[in-house]
Structure formats: C-alpha cells, structure tokens
Amino acid sequence: MVLEHVSCDLCGCATYIEKYRKPDTYLWQTQFAFPIVACTNCDLVYVNPRPTFTGIAEFYPTDYHDNRDSAEHIRRYARQFEYVKAFEFEKILDVGCANGDWLEYVKQNRPHVEMQGVDAFSRGVKNNIKFYRCALTDADLPADYFELVTSWAVLEHVHTPLRYFQVVAQVLKPGGKFVFLVTNADSFYGRYAYSEDVPRHLYHFSKETLAAYADKVGLKLVRVDYDDGFWDGRGWGTFRYGLGRTFGFTWDKLFLKRLALTTKIAMRLGAIIDKIVFSTHWEAKLRRSGIIIATMEKVVR
C-alpha cells in the first residue's frame, strides 16, 4: 500500500486537524486506519494520508460497476431524474458514468438528447453513448458545449476535486447546470457511525465548501438537498460504536474477532438505541444526513 500526504484541495493549506480514523471495512485488505482530517483554513474534510491515484485501484473490486441496471438502481435513476427533469437540455455529460445505465434512463425520457459519458474504470458503456475511458481531467471535451452535466456519487472518490469542478465549468454552456451527489462532511453517518466508504471516499463536502468550490471556478451553488432516498444516510452505528468504545472497542479487535463479551453486549445495546433514535429521517432536516444533492449553475458573464 502506497500512501501520500496532501494539502487541502480547495485552498492549498497544509495544516489540518484529525477528526477520526477508519480502516477499509469493505474489503479489509489492511488494518490501517485512515485518518479523516479537516483543513484548518476552509474546513474541507478529506483522507490524509491516502492511497495514490495508482494505488487506489487495489481498493476497488473488479465487479464494482456491475449490476447497475437492477431494479434497485433503476429506482435510484428515477429519483435522480427528478432533479433534472425541469431543465431543458440537448446535450448531457455524465461524469463517472460506469456502464452508462443512468444515461440510458435519461434517453428513455429524452430520446433526442445527445449522450456522453466519462469513466476511468468502466470496461464499456451501452449503445448510443459517446464514451471516454479516462478521468474527466484527461478527456478532450469541447468548451461551452453541454447544457447539463451530472455526477452521481463520484466526486468523493477523485483525487483532485478542484480540477473536476474546473473542467465542468469549462464544458458547460453559460447558464448550464451541474447536478451531482456527494457525501456530507457534517453527517452522523460518516463521523460517528463510521459508514463512509473509506478510503474510496477521499473527500467529504459541506454546503460551505461546495459554495467555495463553485465560486473558485465560475459556478454558482444554487441548490442543496439532503436526500436519503438514494442510499440510507442515517446514523446507524452512532450508538453502537459509541458504547463499544466505552467498553474497549477498537478496529483491530473487531477485525481479529477479539471483542470482549462486555464490548459485544454494549454494542448490541447501542444497535437497539440506533434503531430507535434513527427510525425516521430527522437528520436530513438538520442537514446532518449522509448525502448531499447539489446543483450548480455556470455564471453568465
């Protein structure tokens, strides 16, 4: 595993404070607990140190993009379409398009729209989609071309979000919209329930940091929604892990299956409390749920 220390992607500041640590509980290829830090200048939250751009590939299973046309995903595409159906657009670009299933859904509703997609890791896409198999920053895309750019659960994965925002600003027509889903840095889901997909989720955003990104590249943040309808972004695990730490929980003990009986009992009690406290989606009303849907617009000059 090759790691790199980085400065803040948004403001360039090299100082930060550590918020928490979490290992890769998805694959458990390493017991290393990655630090999630916050910039002392602008409060951007990110993983530091992190796997390099080349090294991050080992944290993605080969089937990561498979089965994106299942009924569950199609319901998600329908919800995504609710965020863009009011817009008039003739050309759409999807960043991180995977196999192109979201664009196929858009095509069914807007059959005459030109579809383009870019993805560095996808093996291929569906028919009628112009596809770039590379990172957005390496695609040769025309300036002022698209009325709509979308990106669903992608920007938290990239190593240079600022460059992505810059390219989106370049390829959008004036007045064009950028609609995207990202992780919420202010959520119970990530900070206390340890549910962020670290280290694949390299960055976690807030309304304030998204507005700062937009202002920096010539976009304007026009809408922010906290929507748990895509994935459940509630804080399941907040009390489970909180009580567990009180009784000796550590990630190493969990991985090695060496949790003491008192720890297990405390964590089971915490899980029951989680079910009660997070039985509704009250966090979204407080802007503390795990998911943000943001809309930016290219400023007309």
Whether residue 60 is predicted with pLDDT greater than 90 in this model: the reply is: no
| pLDDT score for 1 | 86
| pLDDT score for 65 | 62
Whether residue 69 is predicted with pLDDT greater than 70 in this model: the reply is: no
Q: Band of the pLDDT at 281, cuts 50, 70, 90?
A: very high
Q: What confidence tens digit (pLDDT) does each residue in 72-103 have?
A: 778 999 999 999 999 999 999 999 998 899 99
Distance CA 43, CA 105 (A): 36
| pLDDT score for 143 | 96
3-state DSSP of 163-181: HHHHHHHHHEEEEEEEEEE
| pLDDT score for 198 | 96
Q: Band of the pLDDT at 68, cuts 50, 70, 90?
A: low
| pLDDT score for 230 | 86
Contact 29, 198 (CB under 8 A): no
Contact 100, 125 (CB under 8 A): yes
Structure tokens at 66: 């498979």
Whether residue 286 is predicted with pLDDT greater than 80 in this model: the reply is: yes
Contact 59, 27 (CB under 8 A): yes
Q: What is the pTM of this model?
A: 0.94
Q: Which fold has domain 71-231+283-298?
A: Rossmann fold (3.40.50)
> Mean pLDDT over residues 216-229, rounded?
95
Provide the 3-class DSSP secondary structure of residue 11: coil
**Sheet of strand 172-183: strand arrangement:** 130-132, 114-118, 91-95, 146-152, 172-183, 291-298, 219-225
Whether residue 71 is predicted with pLDDT greater than 90 in this model: the reply is: no
> Which whole-number Å values give the CA distances from 6 to 194, 261, 291, in the listed order?
22, 40, 25
Name the one residue in this structure whose structure tokens are 């993009």: 65
Q: What confidence tens digit (pLDDT) does each residue in 163-190 have?
A: 999 999 999 999 999 999 999 999 999 9
